[in-house]
Structure 1
Amino acid sequence: MYLIAGLGNPGPRFTGTRHNAGFLVVDELAARWGGKFRRIGASEVLRVGHKGAMLIKPQTFMNLSGGAVQAALSKERAPLDDLLVIHDDVDLPLGRLRFKQGGGAGGQKGVKDVIDRLGPDFLRLKIGVGRPPDGRGTDNWVLGRFAPEERQVLADVIAEAADAVETLLTLDLETAMNRANGIDLAADSKGILD
């Protein structure tokens, strides 16, 4: 069973922010598959038996995501190979996706906390949110909401990310990677986002 953890910050204050891209993908999968999240420990969880997956939304705030992910893995007695962490990435432009196996956190503090608790050898799906256009720091940027002109690209990339997860579950990682890593909705919307 795959444990699919979408990272984000809980509560209405953070709904629709760049940092909650992981939550958005997990919510899209839940909408497609049906069912309701329920609180188990420090996470909202939806077990989807017919898909062989469990969706997880840590409710611990981004920088403390590792404890909730570790608890879910432990409760399920699942190996690290069964974990997929979905998160925002400022180094990818909005409209891009990237599967990555292992490695560092790339400055993403939620991923860093997961690595600190579990080690680096797990699968990630990065959702591009881009960097601030004016070169300022990213802390406030990732806690900001998407601009109205970005919302269609966001909706499209969230749908593509959910498609990629379904490909991973029904086919294999290589096929999912080939699909997701080639997506560039930002190029398709050039001029809209500039």
Structure 2
Amino acid sequence: MSDKYMIVGLGNPGAHYQKTRHNIGFMVVDRMVSQFDTDLKKGRGNCEIAHLDITGNSAFVVKPLAFMNNSGVVVARLLKYYNIDLSRLLVIYDEVELPFGRLRIRKKGGSGGHNGINSIIDYIKTKEFARLRIGIGTEYAKKDMTKFVLSNFSRNEQQKLDQMLAKSVNAVLSFVREGVDKTMTIYNKASI
């Protein structure tokens, strides 16, 4: 295998949060693991992890089991343990500023107020890592944001969720196979 990648899906552990908007990162990791016909296992630190071969590249897909706001400690430890270059880290998370189903890949940047990303930036001491932001809807302005992100998807959204997860997995695979620039070109304009 040539290069090592780490793909981190953010979410909160526990059945109560399993199907919430905030757990879209976990959902993408679960979908990838299923697609590669493998299982997540207890990993170093507080996480579940699977090792995938993506076109000859070694990829560790990770679900940090610390709550969202503490994801950084898990990510920092795993990056160090597996000696993963930051250019090969992709973090997948929910984005309330994007319409449902819209994807945005960024090479670097701030947290945009997302506590999971804040935690990662704090622990790895840089904003220089790629992210896959997945639009979970912008209706939070009508509700309390916390309540919104911790709510389940609407019935209409649930009917489109499978398609959104498939598109998100394809974006992750493109990141590993083609690099962040080409992936941005392909997926930043797409929506379901």
TM-score (norm. length: structure 2)? 0.92
**How far is the alpha carbon of 1:77 from its aligned partner?**
1.4
**How far is the alpha carbon of 1:93 from its aligned partner?**
0.8
Do structure 1's residue 138 and structure 2's residue 140 form an aligned pair? Answer: no
Q: Deviations over 1:128-182 (max 9, x none)?
A: 0123366222111101100111112222111101011111222222221122111
Do structure 1's residue 30 and structure 2's residue 30 form an aligned pair? Answer: no
**How far is the alpha carbon of 1:67 from its aligned partner?**
0.6
Alpha carbons 2:107, 2:180 under 8 Å: kept: no
Distance 2:116 2:130 in 1: 14
1:1-194 to structure 2, matched below 5 A, reads 1-40=4-43, 41-49=45-53, 50-118=56-124, 119-132=126-139, 135-185=142-192
Alpha carbons 1:131, 1:138 under 8 Å: kept: no
Q: Runs ≥4 in structure 1, deviation > 4 angstroms?
A: none
Structure 2 gaps of 5+ residues are none
**How far is the alpha carbon of 1:51 from its aligned partner?**
4.4
Alpha carbons 1:7, 1:110 under 8 Å: kept: yes
Letter in 1 for 2:71: S
Aligned pairs, number: 185
Partner secondary structure for residue 142 of structure 2: coil
Letter in 1 for 2:51: R
Decide which moves more: 145-154 or 120-129: 145-154
Decide which moves more: 170-179 or 87-96: 170-179
TM-score (norm. length: structure 1)? 0.91
User: Residues 139 and 48 of structure 1: is their aligned pair in 2 closer, same or farther, counting only changes over 3 Å?
Assistant: same
Letter in 2 for 1:19: H
Distance 1:42 1:110 in 2: 15
Structure 1 gaps of 5+ residues are 186-194
Alpha carbons 2:96, 2:140 under 8 Å: kept: no
Partner secondary structure for residue 145 of structure 1: coil
**How far is the alpha carbon of 1:183 from its aligned partner?**
1.1
User: Residues 7 and 151 of structure 1: is their aligned pair in 2 closer, same or farther, counting only changes over 3 Å?
Assistant: same
